[in-house]
Amino acid sequence: MENMNFQVNLQGIIDLLSNHLYSDPGVFIRELLQNGVDAITARRKLGHQYEERVTVELFPSSHTLSLQDNGAGLTLQEIEQFLARIGSTTKKGDLDAAEAFIGQFGVGLLACFVVSDEIVLITRSAADGDSLEWRGKPDGTYAIKKLNNQAPIGTTVYLKAKPEYEDYFEYDRVSDLLTRYGQFLPTPIYLTEGGNEERINESLPPWKLDRAGALDYIEHSAYYKPMDAIPLHSAIGGVEGVAYILPYAVSLQDEKRHQVYLKNMLLSDKMATILPPWAFFVNGIMNTDSLRPTASREAFQENDLFFLVRDELGNCIKQHLIGLSEQDPELLKRIILIHYASLKAMAVEDEELYELIIRYLNFETSYGDMSMSDILSSYPEILVTTTLDEFRQIARVARSQGLMVINGGYVHDFELVRKLPSVSEDVDVSILDILAIANRFERLAGEERKALEPFRDLADALLERFQCRCSIRWFEPADIPALYTTNEEVNLFKLADDSEREANALFASIVQVIRQELYDEPFARLCFNYNNPIVRKAAASGDIELQKVCIELFYTQALLMGNHSMNAEELRLMNESLLHFMNRGLDEAVGGAR
């Protein structure tokens, strides 16, 4: 078997870099800048004392750009080793030394081929007196020659723009790119054109500023005023940063725009995963010395260290919010109010976030809108409904009975209420059985109950076709004649009956199959309130026909009061019962007039 070497198509690799690895052709500025800063770091390690500097010069007439650093430079051996071998890098040989360098992969210089058809590099090593020129082309050929004139120690790279990339060599574009990637680098960076020189990086990074300075920075750079600034630290990841609490509501699905720097050079300003998913309400700016970048240097490798760092940064945010709950609860309330919907969604999944914010969340209750803090302080027993309809059916009655019922029908509210015992041992939470609510009402005495059985039996017979059974109890408030309660199961069967009557045989047959599988056919409940004077009069009446009309009117009125939909038969029943009483009243009025 003969061993063979792979044949590398350099033009194909450049196409890969251009169209797949790098998000924008402008990354060539970042790669040149990174190489220059790393070269200066390498010379610093040699113990040289000098004025560090990176200079980018533009030659607009020829659309040419040069980047010069006064770093360690390259020897002939290093040129052949690192510029002629794709994937090789000066940082790999010494892992300890590599910690100080930004770059970790030997493909960065190839990014220049995306915007230029030739790379010209002039260098002089701090360890070797020869000045050398290296010219590389995207077809994989290169040439090296020794220069007669002595170049300064360091490296200068020259690029001439391809016809379609001239705008990347214009002053404003280059200035923006240098600022974007290098504004927080400690090495001075200058941009020159036609004798004019501009210092790019003079400001301190926000993670080196105090709270007031960090807030001022984001207000002037991002044009919004955050609600607060949270210091971020990770010892294991060498991370410093600031998380800004957004002053406007954002969706969980919105793109996260965390700015992340690697050794003070921008890696990405759209890194979504560096903070936990629940921290959607902040935009972070942070710098790391230890996390390892991907080949494109636009993200980090998501290894065990990465996730440990993310958890550590998330804990910084949580601890800050806990501090606000003690030191500035009003600010925390405003934060929760603005990010209310999304915070609720995340609190369902995250135990720590749940424990932090649950007491600040508001819920609709039988006593009106209340914060969970007030609910827990006053009501050790809580009932929660599973749907909005269930809550509407009994909200008013529940309050009269002294019951704390929370509406669990809104998104996430049911899950949030059910988890309350995990943060408060003194509270008991139960799911309200809406059909059994009448069992909580006061029962009638034996003789009284027996006397009312004919009325109840009549009501059962009349309302059986509507899948409803009746009871008579005493409850508050007295102005409610009857309370109708139902659930989804009952509604399904009522819908089946309606469909059958409307000749929707297919749907009705499906529901009939389901019905046959159940041991007990479900029934809604209509509870007559014997505390209501009209109910007492109707029950005491000896006129069966009048009692029937009263029962039908009580039933349809209870449907309306509970916001229940009515089918055609129930609407007919309501109209006929109302007309009956209208005619009866009018007949009496006319008879009295005669």
If asked whether residues 123 and 143 sit together in one domain, one would say yes
If asked whether residues 219 and 194 sit together in one domain, one would say no
The model's pTM: 0.73
567: domain CATH number is 1.20.120.790
What local confidence, expressed as pLDDT, does residue 576 receive?
92
Q: Label each residue of 499-519 as H, E or C.
A: HHHCCCHHHHHHHHHHHHHCC
How many angstroms separate the CA atoms of 243 and 537, rounded? 68
If asked whether residues 190 and 225 sit together in one domain, one would say no
What local confidence, expressed as pLDDT, does residue 353 receive?
84
**Burial environment of residue 334 by CB neighbours within 10 A (0 to 12, 13 to 18, 19 or more):** middle
Nearest CA to 375 among 432, 440, 423? 423
Please count the structural domains in the chain: 3
Q: Is residue 234 part of a domain?
A: yes
How many angstroms separate the CA atoms of 76 and 393, rounded? 86
- 130 among the known binding-site residues? no
Which of 153, 180, 199 is the endpoint of a domain?
199
**Burial environment of residue 591 by CB neighbours within 10 A (0 to 12, 13 to 18, 19 or more):** exposed
If asked whether residues 215 and 166 sit together in one domain, one would say no
In terms of phi and psi (left: phi > 0; alpha: psi -120 to 50; beta: otherwise), the region of 167 is alpha
Residues near 323 by beta carbon (within 8 Å), at least 6 away in sequence = none
If asked whether residues 221 and 187 sit together in one domain, one would say no
State which residues of the chain have pLDDT below 70: 1, 3-23, 84-108, 489-521, 591-594
Q: Is residue 37 part of a domain?
A: yes
If asked whether residues 140 and 224 sit together in one domain, one would say no
Strand pairing report for 116-124 and 482-485: unpaired
If asked whether residues 195 and 211 sit together in one domain, one would say no
Q: Is residue 580 part of a domain?
A: yes
Token reading at 177? 């790119």
Which of 199, 220, 239 is the endpoint of a domain?
199
Q: Is residue 38 part of a domain?
A: yes
What Å distances lie between residue 230 and 189, 310, 319, 320, 337, CA to CA?
A: 30, 15, 10, 7, 18
If asked whether residues 31 and 121 sit together in one domain, one would say yes
- H/E run at residue 66: strand 64-69
How many angstroms separate the CA atoms of 150 and 146, rounded? 10
If asked whether residues 118 and 80 sit together in one domain, one would say yes
Nearest CA to 310 among 339, 277, 283? 277
If asked whether residues 195 and 210 sit together in one domain, one would say no
- 269 among the known binding-site residues? no
Residue 96 CB neighbours (<10 A): 6
- H/E run at residue 68: strand 64-69
- 35 among the known binding-site residues? yes
If asked whether residues 536 and 565 sit together in one domain, one would say yes
What local confidence, expressed as pLDDT, does residue 401 receive?
87
Q: Residue ranges of the alpha helices (H) in 110-225?
A: 171-182, 211-221
Q: Give the structural domain span for 144.
A: 10-199
Strand pairing report for 196-199 and 131-136: unpaired
If asked whether residues 218 and 135 sit together in one domain, one would say no
Q: Is residue 88 part of a domain?
A: yes
Token reading at 240? 């410093």
What local confidence, expressed as pLDDT, does residue 20 receive?
56
- 69 among the known binding-site residues? yes
What local confidence, expressed as pLDDT, does residue 111 receive?
81
